[in-house]
Amino acid sequence: DIQDHKQVSLKRTCSTSAPASSNCLLGSFEESLINGRLEPAGVIDGFTVEIGASGSFCPPHIFLPCLAFFFSLSDDNAPSPYLGHIDLESHSKKGYKVPNKGTIQVTLFNPSKSVVKIFVIKYDVSDMPGHHQTILRHRIVYMPSTNSSSDVPGAPTYLRYLVHLRLASLKQNHTYLHTDIRMIFARDKFEWDNRMANYELRSFTETPENPKYSPRR
């Protein structure tokens, strides 16, 4: 049926290379989710994204569907995050042309057309040679406040959102978001308690190191 077809499509699409950042633990839950190593329990249609960029030029914004896959991972039926998948090749085989330095904005909408999250990612790949590629992985986490005077060593952090972008150059200074965009976002509202009074939302963007870029096959 349609859902089976979409699950097969997820496994086929996400099993293709989604390079892990160099300082992530391979085999972690995040890596398994992003790389499609977990069997989805189902899919929800109706999520969409708006993609835009700014820098030396501002390409037209595009709107694309986002398949939201969910998983059954815990014995107590606690909700797992969604894995969102956006097929950029449905827009163009090359992908979405962006400046080689600037800001990428990805806005996620739920099926009711309400904004779930706006991702704003600053980047600079102006030194990427032609016919090379890299990734950007942008995380938003709850973590102890840097201004807190009562930080607890080893206090946990909580991943709330993640977006994984692939960038490639056809030639020097011609940069594209290519293939797909993958994201992790929560299915439920965050349960706040007093122990997290000194927590704050912080964002981090990671890129590969050694090498920063790799030849595009």
Q: Where are the domains of the chain?
A: 2-215
pLDDT score at 36: 77
Q: How confident is the model at residue 21, as a pLDDT?
A: 35
Q: Is the Cβ–Cβ distance between 191 and 78 less than 8 Å? A: no
pLDDT in tens, 32-43: 888 877 888 899
Predicted local confidence at residue 3, as pLDDT: 44
Looking at residue 76, what is its pLDDT? 53
Task: Report pLDDT digits (tens) over 104-150.
Answer: 999 999 999 999 999 999 999 999 999 999 999 999 988 888 765 55
Query: Given this model, what pLDDT does residue 155 score?
Result: 72
Return the C-alpha torsion angle 97, 100, 103, 108, nearest 10. 30
| CA distance linking residue 154 with residue 189, whole number of Å | 24
Q: Is the pTM of this model over 0.85?
A: no
The whole-number pLDDT of residue 20 equals 35
Contact predicate 23/206, CB 8 Å: yes
Please say whether the beta carbons of 38 and 73 come within 8 A: yes
Report pLDDT for 192.
53
What's the token pair of residue 144?
A: 């102890």
